[in-house]
Amino acid sequence: MKNRLQGKTVLVTGASSGIGRATAMEFAAYGANLILAARRVERLEELKVELVQKFKVKVFVIGMDVTHPKQVKTALEHLPDSIVSIDILVNNAGLALGLDTFVDDDVNNWETMIDTNVKGFLTVLRLVTKRMVAQGYGHIINIGSVAGVEAYAKGSVYCATKHAVHAISQGLREEMVEHGIKVSEILPGAVNTEFSTVRFKGDQERADAVYQGFEPLQASDVAELIVYTANLPSHVNLAESLILAARQSRATKIHRQM
């Protein structure tokens, strides 16, 4: 495919690990410059060194927590003068916590997921969308989930947050067509990243069990789809993409060979 990403500037949130990190690597391979945002700045700095050395691209690091609106606003409104535009946003920061029944779940888990997956997602999205409208172009790629189009037991609040991402993406797409700004959503199924380790708060045995008996997606698989979506011609918008492992058909239906 023709490379349409060379020299473009891409903002990736949640870039310190998993899908975000893999996406940064994939964009850099196409010659795109990067703004990497996450809480774990030391990981971002390590990634920056790797990207600059390997791909000779420009990389700017932002240490920010999307659950702190003022911090996000300050970071995104005070980018260096060398960054004249944000061509592409990969709005990726998010998490799941717990897998308990609704009546037994920890309300703190709900608050953290809502603060991150909905409020934090919106904070970044609004600031970057305003910038793109002002500059007259851009491509927003929101990272949703299969949980955004179907709900499952013991995950109702997480699913609700991803349903919000899905609805916001659809509504924003309706608004942005007049501005020539594309809005896409990637909806992954099971991806072997830190996702389950975070969900189960460091219980690695329980996290590993999620991916046993089948070959799950890897972060690089999702990153490849994200970059493919971004690399399409300007008149083409791959609006929604549900990406699943070959052995997964629904959020909770996976054929395992034990």
Contact call for residues 21 and 27 (beta carbons, < 8 A): no
Q: Which residue has the tokens 């995950």?
A: 155
Tens of pLDDT, residue by residue over 18-27, are: 999 999 999 9
Tens of pLDDT, residue by residue over 125-167, are: 999 999 999 999 999 999 999 999 999 999 999 999 999 999 9
DSSP letter at 24 equals H
What is the Cα–Cα distance from 194 to 19, expressed in whole angstroms? 10
Tens of pLDDT, residue by residue over 162-213, are: 999 999 999 999 999 999 999 999 999 999 999 999 999 999 999 999 999 9
What are the structural domains of the chain? 9-190+218-243 (3.40.50.720)
Q: Mutual orientation of helices 18-29 and 219-230 as an angle, nearest 10°?
A: 50
Query: Confidence class of residue 226 from pLDDT cuts 50, 70 and 90?
Result: very high
Out of 8, 58, 162, 182, the active site residue is 162
Query: Confidence class of residue 258 from pLDDT cuts 50, 70 and 90?
Result: confident
- Residue 2 designated active-site: no
With pLDDT > 70 as the criterion, what percentage of the chain qualifies?
100
What is the Cα–Cα distance from 69 to 88, expressed in whole angstroms? 21
Out of 8, 58, 158, 182, the active site residue is 158
What pLDDT was estimated at residue 1? Answer: 85
> Comparing 50 with 80, which gets the higher pLDDT?
50
- Residue 158 designated active-site: yes
